[in-house]
Amino acid sequence: MAHITRRALLGSAGLGLLAWGARPGPTGAPHDTYFSNLSQALKRAGIGTPTLVIDRQRLHANVNQILRNIGGRMQLRVVAKSLPSMALIHDVLSLTKTDRLMVFSLPQLLQLAPDRANTLLGKPMPVTAAAQFYRQVPGNPADQKVQWLVDTPQRLVQYRDLARQQQLSLAVNFEIDVGLHRGGIDSAQSLQDMLAILQSEPRLRWSGLMGYDAHVAKIPDVAGLRQKAMDHARQTYAAYAQQVQAALGNAVGTATFNAGGSPTYRLYDGSGVENELSVGSAMVKGLDFDTPLLADLQAATFIATPVLKVPRQFRMPYGVEVLGDAARIWDRNQEQAYFIYGGNWLAEPVSPAGLAGSGLYGTSSNQQVLVGSGLQQLQVDDMVFFRPRQSEAVLQQFGDIAVYEDGKISQFWKPMAATA
Ligand SMILES: Cc1ncc(COP(=O)(O)O)c(C=O)c1O
């Protein structure tokens, strides 16, 4: 039989105490002033279901900050997919005094067409989608200021054939690969082939280049790695622009040389051939956009949802209750459960502080459980706030968007229909 010494006993007791001391401490707090004011505004507006909120003052502050950062050195193109509400897009366009939009879907393109905005497609559309656009678009097709994005000689031939069949004059912008490797022209030969097709068809008008560089922001800013990727992107861009210049000459003067996006727009200073930057997401700043390059912008969109149930404590279902007991004993941040209206969104809880989903209990789109220490002091019918990870798609999941300004819900903005 094993002989348990006094020393071993003391040792294990010591270890146990050490482990107990390493338990996570309780964290969390009730809503701060910003979120309690927002809660009250929602209550006064009679809102009791999951609702997407845009803080219009923060939105405007972000847009103005972005304009200041660009400083007129380049033009701004507003990314419609990341601000998917006509009212929101119009609010931003009027503030930025631009008519430049980047659009990524046929239904959104059709919806925006009557605005006669200067529109650049952000991805190459199948030619059948372009044909559908010209069948459905109201008004004169020649009136539409659309730059179709074309990435390969094959697609350019398809667009050329569409232009011939429908007797259209099409503006085509060439997508170039500046390092993201998400498609686009990736060799001088491809560009040469496309220029040859273009020059043999008067119905096609070349309108510029688009090179997206999102990978640059993902590369760690150590040992010059990010700078290297940025230098590569800009040199690649310049080389393609030069090749077009050699072939087309004058057309280059008025061309759209689009680059950047929310994650990278700060890396441009207007010194290169790129003459405009696309930005959308950063204006409302979902969680994924909490990056050092966007630190001067504020979160301007939230999901608000009421608490439905506040049980005595967090409990796992019958049969595995012991797991919940153990979790509660170990981590005081799993002491209290709050069941909310809805859930399972592409979003994280932000207020009150210290709430989290339960890996043990799982998630639910119907009544998600959040766990916390109880320091949040939530009651039934109180609001919980989430931050969407991104604005694209998420803004379209909650019906009318509640616009928060001057301490109240001032209006509601219809989101665009959730289509691809
Ligand atoms: C081609 C292109 N440009 C720019 C952007 C940036 O959009 P946002 O500023 O909304 O992130 C994207 C995002 O997907 C994109 O695909």
CA atoms within 13 A on the CB side of 58: 19
Backbone angles phi, psi at 281, to 5 degrees: -50, -40
Domains of the chain: 26-50+299-413 (2.40.37), 57-282 (3.20.20.10)
- The atom number, within ligand 1, closest to the CA of 265 reads 9
Q: How far is the CA of 190 from the centre of ligand 1 (A)?
A: 24
Chain position carrying tokens 């659309």: 146
* Amino acid of residue 272: G
Q: Is the peptide bond before 352 cis (omega within 30 degrees of 0)?
A: yes
Q: How far is the CA of 261 from the centre of ligand 1 (A)?
A: 5
* Amino acid of residue 283: M
Backbone angles phi, psi at 282, to 5 degrees: -60, -20
- The atom number, within ligand 1, closest to the CA of 263 reads 11
Q: How far is the CA of 372 from the centre of ligand 1 (A)?
A: 36
Residue closest to 82 by CA, chosen among 101, 58, 107, 61: 101
For every one of its 420 residues, what pLDDT tens digit does the chain have, with 9 covering 90 and above?
445 565 655 566 666 666 777 889 999 999 999 999 999 999 999 999 999 999 999 999 999 999 999 999 999 999 999 999 999 999 999 999 999 999 999 999 999 988 888 999 999 999 999 999 999 987 777 777 999 999 999 999 999 999 999 999 999 999 999 999 999 999 999 999 999 999 999 999 999 999 999 999 999 989 999 999 999 999 999 999 999 999 999 778 899 999 999 999 999 999 999 999 999 999 999 999 999 999 999 999 999 999 999 999 999 999 999 999 999 999 999 999 999 999 999 999 999 999 999 999 999 999 999 999 999 999 999 999 999 999 999 999 999 999 999 999 999 999 999 988
Within 45-75, residue ranges assigned H as helices are: 56-70
Residues with CB under 6 A from ligand 1: 79, 82, 102, 122, 212, 261-262, 278-282
**Which H or E run includes 17?**
helix 6-21
CA 362, distance to chain mean position in Å, is: 25
Q: Which residues pair with 337 in a beta bridge?
A: 371
- The atom number, within ligand 1, closest to the CA of 175 reads 1
Strands 51-55 and 301-309, sheet pairing: antiparallel
Q: Any idea what DSSP says for residue 143?
A: G
Q: How far is the CA of 413 from the centre of ligand 1 (A)?
A: 22
Q: How far is the CA of 212 from the centre of ligand 1 (A)?
A: 7
Buried b (16+ CB within 10 A) or exposed e, 162-191: bbeeeebebbbbbbbbbbbeeebbbeeebb
Q: Which residues pair with 77 in a beta bridge?
A: 278
Of all protein residues, the one whose alpha carbon is nearest to atom 16 of ligand 1 is 122
Ligand 1 mutation target, pool 278, 285, 288, 389, most atoms within 8 A of CB: 278
User: Could you give the CA distance from residue 357 to residue 359 in angstroms, rounded to a whole number?
Assistant: 6
Ligand 1 mutation target, pool 63, 77, 82, most atoms within 8 A of CB: 82
Residues 6+ apart with CB under 8 A from 238: 272, 273
**pTM score of the predicted model:** 0.94
pLDDT (0 to 100) of residue 1: 40
pLDDT (0 to 100) of residue 322: 95
Of all protein residues, the one whose alpha carbon is nearest to atom 1 of ligand 1 is 122
> In sequence order, what DSSP letters do the residues of 258-287 get, joined into one string?
EE--TTTGGG--S-SS--EEEE-HHHH--G
Count Cβ atoms below 10 Å from residue 89 Cβ, excluding itself: 25
